[in-house]
A and B are shown apart, each in its own frame.
Chain A
Amino acid sequence: MAVGRSSRSQPNEEASTALGLLLLIVIAFAVFSWTATGFASPYNLYTLTRTAGLNVLLGLAMMVVIATGGLDLSVGATGVASAMFAGYLMQDFRFQMVIAIVAALCFGGALGFCNGFVVVFARVHSFIVTLASMSIIFGAMIVLTKAESVRDLPASFLALGKIRWFGYLSPMLIVSVAIGALIAIMLRWTDLGREILASGASSRAATLSGVRVGSRIITVHALSGMLAAAAGVMLSIRNGAMVPSMAGNLGQEWLLPAFLAPVLGGTLLSGGRAWVLTTVLAALLVTELTSGMLLMAIGEFWVQFALGSVLLLAVLLEKGRSTLMGTGEGI
């Protein structure tokens, strides 16, 4: 069954996008190594790979929803709420670390499931649903936790944040890349993945082909929630505590990196196409640009300005490309 927008040209497109991103990563590394003092120092490379691990997960969390033509604005709120949930299980109920983390992933998945359920059964666009759930989830978390951080965590959990490989590599990036590989396998080689992309490409055609589109939309929202939860746990490991404000007010600080990675990576905002490899590379590029600009002491507002401009430019370029090629693939 041929579903989605899979075609022989897609692997070539993905490869060329990946090559372009890889080249940009190398060039940016060379430029920042030359111009930003300490950029290539082992410690900066360690913190860069640690942050990249988080950004990869955020990008993937948004990418899977965009693949069906939707959006998830609640990734930050879901991620932090899930991490807080894990924290309370460990602190107040003395759950073992692994069980608490698995519970947090399930909790994130459940929150995402609720998003998807409302999107499908109320027939409301995911933008509105997740905008509302972002406030609901974050507000409920603040009320329940009284905005207090979870700080009494087991030593085994805290020890995870201290692991450093070869002096410059954070295992968080490896974990995120491994998760990305699993998602890539799912999207490319399983019926579930093909049905998700088909649902995004044309829900009507997918329905006529026997795909349960509503079920697939709920699935990607649940998956997005799980990935956001993983990001929340990862950031908590880095902080050694679960802090309600760790993704900013309402979790909004995570939105820009979450959108940047898939959009720069060639994921169509209209759905039907999602490339994991390029999303991962785009997350690396964004992290690298942020780190380099911070080291050059450009000023954080200018960093935000630059990243926002990159996002807008990527969207416009993709729109122009699809118009020129007459593919009909809208943004």
Chain B
Amino acid sequence: MRNSRLFSTIAGALFAGIVTSTAVLADPSTRIGIVAPGPHPYFTQWDAAGQQAAKDFNIGVVDYRVPAKWELAAHNALLESMASQNYNAFLIFPGDPVATRPTVADLVGMGAPVISLAGCLQDPSDAAFCFATDNTVAAYDAAKLLIKEMGGKGKIVHFAGFLTDPNTKVRIDAIARAVAETNGAVTVVDNITDLDVPEAAQDKINAFLATQGNNIDGIITTAWIPSVVAATALRKIGDKRIKMIGLDNDDLLMAAIKDGYVSGTVVENAFAQAYVGSFAVDKLRTGCKLRDDAPWKNANRSAKLMDSGTVYVTAANLDTYHDIQKDKAKGLLASFKSAYLKCP
């Protein structure tokens, strides 16, 4: 008797749970999950941008989530749990350009559109498109800006991220192209890679500046951590002769720009990525399609890249660049509506 009651209770709970799950999954409003691959300062703007998009575009829910550690398994587990919890549209920075594809295929198979955000999945994938900075353009522009700061001549060192990251090779090539256009007036002394971890960046950058600092005229950094470490090193040395162009907008880097140790930084438009991305994925979920003649770029391993652009920040616009980012976001939104999207 007791056993039958116990089993009745358990069966009842199971049934109620399944009914509850099914009912929640039937929620008709858009619930967007913006998912980073791990903790990183770059993604901090995504939360606010998502909330702003939810308010401006009347989207049901926009939640920013990040796994506790930067690992593929944790990233996949987070995406799977969100898919089970009635999120029906996703903006995802891939944990791996290929190994995230099966999870994206699962999500799309469940009717949830996915846009690859800030980093692209390798083609072919089920993501609608990739909305990210064109790495080639960003690195080329940064190199041109540095060459201009150096007066069109001198020697450059490039501090870069992981060599295993395909973007690193792309950035090295883009910088080489900009340097080649100077017809030998500017040369790249070295491309030092694998600096996107603090310890390695500290060791290699400080050792390089200690031994060869007098022989270079410019520094270009194309990853977050070497940008911070190099800016800090220049401040410690007290050297304003060496010109430096960094990447993104860490507080230490921005302070170095303000104090004149760094010439400027190329800031990716993380705000626009999450803001316009939220609008786009909501539209795709509610029946709009991508235009066949949309002006996609073929870059970052994807044939469907929409460039989210960059903002060049110097001491002159240090206090206003967030407004510039927002203005550019509006421009990207208008461009997406007119050139990329068709709605019934």
Contacts and interface: CB of A to CB of B under 8 A. Distances in A.
Contacts of B96: 149, 239, 241, 243
Nearest to B65: A297
Which of B10, B25, B80 counts the most chain A CB atoms within 10 A?
B80
Interface of B (DSSP majority class) = helix
Contacts of B76: 239
Contact of A43 (B98, B102, B110): B110
A41 B84 contact: yes
B259 interface: no
A33 B85 contact: no
A146 B163 CA distance: 9
Given A38-B24, A162-B102, A30 B84 contact: no
B123 to A, nearest CB: 12
A34 B71 contact: no
Given A30-B14, A43-B110, A301 B68 contact: yes
Contacts, number: 113
B102 A239 contact: yes
B17 interface: yes
B280 to A, nearest CB: 24
B21 interface: yes
Interface string A29-54: 11111100111110110010001000
Contact of A40 (B17, B81, B110): B17
B13 A246 contact: no
Nearest to B68: A300
Interface in A1-54: 26-27, 29-34, 37-41, 43-44, 47, 51
Contact of B84 (A241, A243, A295): A295
Interface string B18-30: 1011101100000
A82 B86 CA distance: 37
Contact of A294 (B9, B71, B77): B77
B18 A43 contact: no
A147 B21 contact: no
A291 B84 CA distance: 10
Contacts of B71: 245, 248, 253
A38 B25 contact: yes
Contacts of A221: none
B101 interface: yes
A216 interface: no
A70 B80 CA distance: 35
B99 A241 contact: yes
Interface string B186-200: 000000000000000
B74 interface: yes
A247 B76 CA distance: 13
B205 interface: no
A60 to B, nearest CB: 19
Which of B14, B71, B99, B122 counts the most chain A CB atoms within 10 A?
B99
Interface in A151-196: 151, 158, 161-162
Given A146-B164, A147-B164, A240-B99, A38 B86 contact: yes
Q: Top 6 nearest A-B pairs by Cβ distance?
A: A33-B17, A38-B84, A44-B84, A30-B13, A300-B68, A239-B99
12 contacts: A30-B10, A33-B16, A34-B16, A34-B17, A37-B21, A40-B14, A41-B22, A43-B106, A149-B96, A149-B99, A243-B72, A300-B68
Interface of B: 9-10, 13-14, 16-18, 20-22, 24-25, 67-69, 71-74, 76-78, 80-81, 83-86, 96-99, 101-102, 105-106, 110, 122, 164
Given A27-B10, A41-B21, 12 more contacts: A29-B14, A33-B13, A34-B13, A38-B81, A38-B85, A40-B17, A43-B83, A43-B110, A146-B164, A151-B97, A240-B101, A240-B102
